[in-house]
């Protein structure tokens, strides 16, 4: 069993594009429809398949055209989310290999996902610090504008001898 489960409380709870459409017919959907449902370009879908990121063999119709099943769309959504959070293609490939191999490597999968979660958590903490700085700067601008001395926001320290010194706003 693949670990792509869109039942309530899992992927569908996080509003995946693949889960937001009508059910995939038994014969699958075209690459264009798969692209529309997942929000991934046709080029990227082909790349994911060539790079070994798709965990099942994507079916083909009698004309040799790709036919994506629900499990394929759900897995592509997983890959897209992992990639969007900064997971390198190499790591996604490793994860896909582990999932494709089936039972017995769950500890490795868990470790890979926990490592990635730790990286995301660290990035989020850094972004929170960045956001705090931006919020601080906004507060300074609002205060100066409210006080009527917004001109102080652009004041620079001038050390030349023949120009009058101006106050430098260290917060800027």
Question: Could you tell me how far CA 72 lies from the centroid of its own chain?
Answer: 19
Q: Is the pTM of this model over 0.85?
A: no
For residue 5, what pLDDT is reported?
47
Q: Give the C-alpha distances (Å, rounded to integers) separating 105 from 57, 94, 141.
A: 20, 12, 54
pLDDT digits (tens, 9 = 90+) for 36-91: 999 999 999 999 999 999 998 898 998 999 999 999 999 999 999 999 999 999 99
Which of 102, 136, 158 lies at the terminal end of a domain, its last residue?
102
Other C-beta atoms lying within 10 Å of the C-beta of residue 76: 29
Which of 85, 102, 119 lies at the terminal end of a domain, its last residue?
102
126 in the same domain as 140: yes
Q: Is residue 5 part of a domain?
A: no
For residue 151, what pLDDT is reported?
86
pLDDT digits (tens, 9 = 90+) for 100-159: 999 999 999 999 999 999 999 999 999 999 999 999 999 999 999 999 998 888 766 655
- What domain count does the chain have? 2
- Decide if 6 contacts 16 (C-beta within 8 A): yes
15 in the same domain as 80: yes
CA separation for the pair 74, 80 (Å, rounded): 10
Q: How many CA atoms lie within 13 A of 15 on its CB side?
A: 0
127 in the same domain as 91: no
For 119, the domain range is 106-172
Q: Is residue 115 part of a domain?
A: yes
17 in the same domain as 96: yes
**The pLDDT of residue 168 is above 60:** no
- Decide if 120 contacts 86 (C-beta within 8 A): yes
Looking at per-residue pLDDT, the higher value among 58 and 12 belongs to 58
134 in the same domain as 157: yes
């Amino acid at each position: 069993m693949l670990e792509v489960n869109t039942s309530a409380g899992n992927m569908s709870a996080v509003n995946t594009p693949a889960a937001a459409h009508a059910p995939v017919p038994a014969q699958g959907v075209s690459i264009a429809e798969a692209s529309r449902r997942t929000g991934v370009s046709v080029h990227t879908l082909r790349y994911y398949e060539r790079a070994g990121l798709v965990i099942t063999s994507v079916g083909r119709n009698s004309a040799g055209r790709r036919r994506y099943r629900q499990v394929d769309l759900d897995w592509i959504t997983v890959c897209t989310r992992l990639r969007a959070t900064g997971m390198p293609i190499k790591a996604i490939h490793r994860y896909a290999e582990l999932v494709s191999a089936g039972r017995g490597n769950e500890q490795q999968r868990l470790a890979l996902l926990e490592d990635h979660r730790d990286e995301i958590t660290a990035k989020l903490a850094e972004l929170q610090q960045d956001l705090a700085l931006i919020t601080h700067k906004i507060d300074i601008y609002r205060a100066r504008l409210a006080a009527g001395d917004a001109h102080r926001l652009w004041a620079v320290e001038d050390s030349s001898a023949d120009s009058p010194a101006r106050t430098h706003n260290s917060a800027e």
